[in-house]
Amino acid sequence: MSGKVDMERQNGPTDPNVYKVSMYFEKGCDFNEGEYNVEINDIVNGTVNLDDYQLVEECISEFFYEKGPLPDTTYGLTLQETGEWEDVFWHKYYKIIKLSVYDWE
C-alpha cells in the first residue's frame, strides 16, 4: 500500500467545472413550476453534460426558491462545481460565485 494521499479523494476536484449562465424570468410565469429559461453561455473550465446541466438548474432553482426572481429580468450567474464526500461517494453540486442582474425595462 502506498503512502501517497489521493488529494482529489480528500478535497474533491482540483480543476472544477465553471460555467457562466444566463437565467431569464418572464412576467406572468411561475418560477416554481419551472417556467424560466437557463442558458449556459460560456464554459470557463470543463465540459458540460446532462448531469451538470441538471445540477446547474437545481442550484439556480434553490437560490431563487424563497423570493423568486424579478419578472422580466435576466440574471448572469457564474457557477462553480463543488461537492462533499459521504463515505466513498462524491456528491457533486454547483454553487453561485457571482451574480449580476440585468433589468431591461
Tens digits of residue pLDDT in 78-95: 999 999 988 889 899 999
Res. 11 pLDDT band, cuts 50 70 90: low
In this prediction, residue 22 carries a pLDDT of 94
Q: In what order do the strands lie in the sheet with 37-45?
A: 37-45, 18-25, 73-86, 89-103
DSSP letter at 104 equals -
Number of H helices, E strands in the chain: 2, 4
Beta-bridged to residue 100, according to DSSP, are 76
Chain center to CA of 17? 10
Residue 13, Cβ neighbours under 10 Å: how many?
Answer: 14
pLDDT tens, residue by residue, 16-50: 889 999 999 888 988 888 888 999 898 888 887 88
What global pTM score does this model have? 0.78
In this prediction, residue 80 carries a pLDDT of 94
